[in-house]
Amino acid sequence: MYRADGPVEMRPVGEVEFVQGLPAASASGLYGRCRAAAAIVGHADLKVGDRVEPVLEALQAASPNRFRGIRHIVTWDADPRVESREKEGVLSTAEFRAGARVLARLGLSLDTICCFPQLPEMVEFARAVPEVTIVINHLGGLNRTGRFAGRDGEVMPAWRNGMAELAKCPNVLLKLGGIGMPRFGFDWHTRDKPIGSEELADSMAPLMSYCIERFGPERCMFESNFPVDKVSFSHHVLFNAFKRFSKGYPASERAALFQDTATRAYRVGTL
């Protein structure tokens, strides 16, 4: 739903213009009690530096009551089997950091995704722009396929060390999800009989627990990542797995993982 013409950097505004109509319809009550898209995350290219400000202002104007931030994917790896979405070293460029500072000045957050070897660069970025709230998606970009396949002895320590350092940055929050994507190295997408919630909860526990122990439940939120994860399991199986996995946590920590962290991060119900 990007705009079909006009300046390239302004075209993502069309997406927010479209999405803004969905929560408005939901708020009418005609479709039940659910209130869809209470907060909206759009896209803007932070590589344009200070020139991102009018783009962000246009996004805010498209949704003055729900727009909360942008998502800019920075995934890069030299292996062509990795779906690189940005150029190498983009987080370290002056332009990207300048764009992030504009984002922070306008009170907006940054959702982003990287490949786990980029975690040290992500740490430096988070330290360089401590004023911006950064929401890391998909468990920090763990990848156990391609050149990383069969190398858990190297891959897992690198991922764990990167996540531990990132957790030291107080401006960083973490989404616990995306684990259904084949790049996580599980075989679920190849099975004739789909995985159930009990096995899924057991399988995800080592990754989820490690992250929650480092970031704390107050900086973590469960993430559905649908429809992408549908290749491995259904949404209700994932949701039940989250419930099974978290049943041993105190009620306040479960509330953070399922709702409170996201409500705070995206200021749901405010403005």
All domains in the chain, ordered by first residue? 42-265 (3.20.20.140)
User: What order do you get walking across the sheet with 40-42 strand by strand?
Assistant: 40-42, 67-71, 109-112, 134-136, 172-176, 220-222
Q: Among positive and negative, which fits the CA dihedral 231, 233, 239, 243? A: negative
What percent of the chain lies above the pLDDT cut of 70?
99
What pLDDT, on the 0 to 100 scale, is given for residue 77?
97
136 forms bridges with which residues in the sheet? Answer: 112, 174
What pLDDT, on the 0 to 100 scale, is given for residue 30?
87
Say yes or no to pLDDT of 35 above 90: no
Say yes or no to pLDDT of 271 above 60: no
User: What tens digit of pLDDT does each residue of 229-253 get?
Assistant: 999 999 999 999 999 999 999 999 9
User: What tens digit of pLDDT does each residue of 65-86 get?
Assistant: 999 999 999 999 999 999 999 9
pLDDT band with cut points at 50, 70 and 90 for residue 119: very high
What pLDDT, on the 0 to 100 scale, is given for residue 31?
86
Alpha-carbon distance 163 to 161, whole Å? 5
Mean pLDDT across 214-224: 97
Say yes or no to pLDDT of 192 above 70: yes
Mean pLDDT across 129-136: 98
User: pTM value?
Assistant: 0.96
What pLDDT, on the 0 to 100 scale, is given for residue 36?
87
Mean pLDDT across 27-37: 87
What pLDDT, on the 0 to 100 scale, is given for residue 27?
86
Give residue 202's region: left, alpha or beta (phi > 0; psi -120 to 50).
Answer: alpha
